[in-house]
Structure 1
């Protein structure tokens, strides 16, 4: 995935090769920061307001004061796309840390947060979207504040790497057998025409695409039950799918090398994919 040349840093636009922070940077030393990944289709943001709102919620949760207002931030992010003359599918990665200061666990005083954002090309993964993916299950060893989109992602990284080493797309996480989410996405189980997923507690990240999925289900009169399902429920599921900004709505067809349903993407999952494409104004639609 190629990175576009112009980046946003603080409130300025610079060449990406000019970005430089001191080695005493709290994001590097403590993971003391937050981030967002915003999907872009044909040069236009999708779920833009939701992502910006969550950025500010995360900042508030860890007591970082973002210098820019939400309005100013949105204007800067829109300019980032324009200045890079982006017209394809991609993503914007954005990160804000508490800033640069001598290393100390205590918050530094009078230090400006470090912020940067950049644009990358990212074509849709049509193979995964059309045919589904395989996953594994892993214990959820993360902290108790997963609702914050923080830089503390080592448990997520380890789970995702374990999945890759076993030839899988994702790792479904669980706490004592109760499914929470995946390493980088929300997860849902379909049974008897109803959709089950973990409630929006501190133990999961409330995904922006999940917000869209909730709208799609409501519009289709499909019942969403915000109730965590168990590992033992997976084997009898009619469908399972995941959602995230980079994965959209992706069918899960195998878990721990066991087929889900008939081993093919299910009816409700396909219906949600069509709703996603319609809302995101995607012209090059899937064949589902």
Structure 2
């Protein structure tokens, strides 16, 4: 089944970027189809979103439910729960969006706002159990909720090891950097960190000891155990499958780490195709940053649709 041919924008993903963009476009009375996966969202492990005014501490599921309710009041927004199989261009210069339920949607503009996939280290037992609680990817998100505990910061470069010894004092007076013995600049980092009251511990983590996700110690592959109650560990990430396919099929430009390249309006190298949120940024991954990118994309999409209408 195909959607109404008058659809102006398909938003793929209902995280903060997609939801914000859909709401902004709805306020402009643009005809939007918002497609989101029925699977649990990436931030479902978090007990609450932090740092966004008016929503500080609100559970992700509550925010999502409220957003769906708000969007449902707009007659120009259509909500669909499905996985997007692919996005391609048509001969008429539009985009063809295929859903996993067999439906298709066509529109002149598309916003990719799927977020990314966190790759949990499979060799570390207990990582997924602690993820989003006592294993956190950044202090801004959950540092306050882990304040006063013994922290470990998993790093792979000497500069970050030294930086964390200072930056994370706001939350913990007992912070150590954890790295591999082969890390370049190890001895210099250890000297610098120790001069500031911290330390650098080397080794390969094999298991996280926890009670229902509450970390209490880290076990290394040589049997050593280090008592820690919070780990700052930013795992590797990859693009969602639909985005990876779009990169190949539409020849999208990515940076050296695989994140989508966009301009100041969040537009990719393909006219009419926008991307906002974590899929386009490695180090600005927060609810507020994603929402801001979604708003920027919506403004640009609205302006482009108006200009195209004026030009006929």
User: Normalized against structure 2, the TM-score is what?
Assistant: 0.23
- Greater relative CO, 1 or 2 (CA 8 Å, sep 6+): 2
